[in-house]
Amino acid sequence: MKRILPFLLIFYACSFSKKNADNIVYKVGQYFAPDKRVVLYDLTYNNGILKGETSSFLAYQALKDSLGRLDIDYIDSVQVLPIDTNKHAVVSLSVANLRSEGRHSSELVTQALCGTPLLVLKQEGGWLLVQTPDAYIAWVDEGGVTIKNADEMNAWERSEKLIFTNTTGYLFKDSTYSETVSDLVAGDILKLTKKGADFSHAKMPDGRAGVVLNDQVDLVSNWSKEREVNDAELKEVAFSMMGVPYLWGGTSVKGVDCSGFTKTIYFMNGYIIPRDASQQVNEGQLIDEDKNWENLQTGDLLFFGREATDQNPEKVVHVGMWIGDDRFIHSSGKVHISSVNPQDSLYDEYNVNRYLRTKRIIKSHTDGIKPLASMLEHR
């Protein structure tokens, strides 16, 4: 890829005159930041000033190189994010809501669980623009995270941790279990301070301490090594969320949208997959495009939406997980099971008619599929 980039940049640069520097800005953005959900690229060239901000140093450098090849003079007012590389954040609520803009009334676009490390791109008022381990960029209320410097972040990462494996539960103040410190949901990560016979002492990332029942947690170090994605494990997680209400932007057992549901299933089986259905469809191995249901295996992801036409591109809008016996489980209204078999009482004619393709995530090695252990590595 590195060898290809110079050639592409020269091609782009030679395709424009000095009068069209704004086109160079656009083309570089199209190449390096085609998905604005994961790469921030908001740059402009006006009256000899190159300004704006980007989270991609490669895009910034490529743009400068392209303008330089055309001898275009400019004043550089670009801000490359993150602004402060020493500032890190860890989610300190059971579930933190991440929004499209830095205010509570803006759209919920995703969620992050307790213990999730976030790359802090910038801060405005009481809000942080962050990037999640699945690369999603969104705003989070500062009250939902704990800010750490590099040394504090390293200490957090080196600490022994627990992962909450029950669907829901609590961090209790003490072993009387009469007062709670926080609610907990599947996937939350806590710092282990002392292991006991029936319960363990643990801390939230913000330092709040309490005890958690041992049969509801596991050591992250053991849990991540023991994850072997198979039919039974995938079904167990999926079925444990039956009836969970649909929530646009939700990625936790408190509420999930369709892709948040499939993301959660794989997260609790040790894998991070992209956030949205239109991103998940680009991962894994293509299994079917012709409704040959016999080729599908439990865990395969089925994608639905609008087929491409001469006038419109394909649009992926829904995803579910195959569970066998002509059935799939998905979040629409609530998490429930549907069937592709017209003879089944759960037949879902609407989604069958807009079916696009099936992709297999299990044992696939595409770029957007990462082991959960990578989430705990220093970023």
How many beta carbons lie within 10 A of that of residue 266, not counting itself?
22
Q: Name the nearest CA neighbour of 94 among 193, 212, 12, 199.
A: 212
258 in catalytic set: yes
Angle ∠(17,22,27) on CA atoms, nearest 5 = 90
- The residue annotated as part of the active site, out of 114, 201, 330, 378, is 330
The residue whose two tokens read 């198979």 is: 230
Amino acid identity of residue 237, one-letter, is V
The residue whose two tokens read 């569970």 is: 323
Question: Which residues, other chains included, contact 334 with Cβ-Cβ below 8 Å and sequence gap of 6+?
Answer: 243, 244, 245, 246
Three-state secondary structure of 219-249: EHHHHHHHCCCCHHHHHHHHHHCCCCEECCC
Say if residues 25 and 46 touch (Cβ distance below 8 Å).
Answer: no
201 in catalytic set: no
- The residue annotated as part of the active site, out of 318, 336, 365, 378, is 318
- The residue annotated as part of the active site, out of 14, 201, 258, 378, is 258
How many CA atoms are closer than 13 Å to the CA of 309, on its beta-carbon side?
A: 4
Catalytic residue positions, numbered: 258, 318, 330
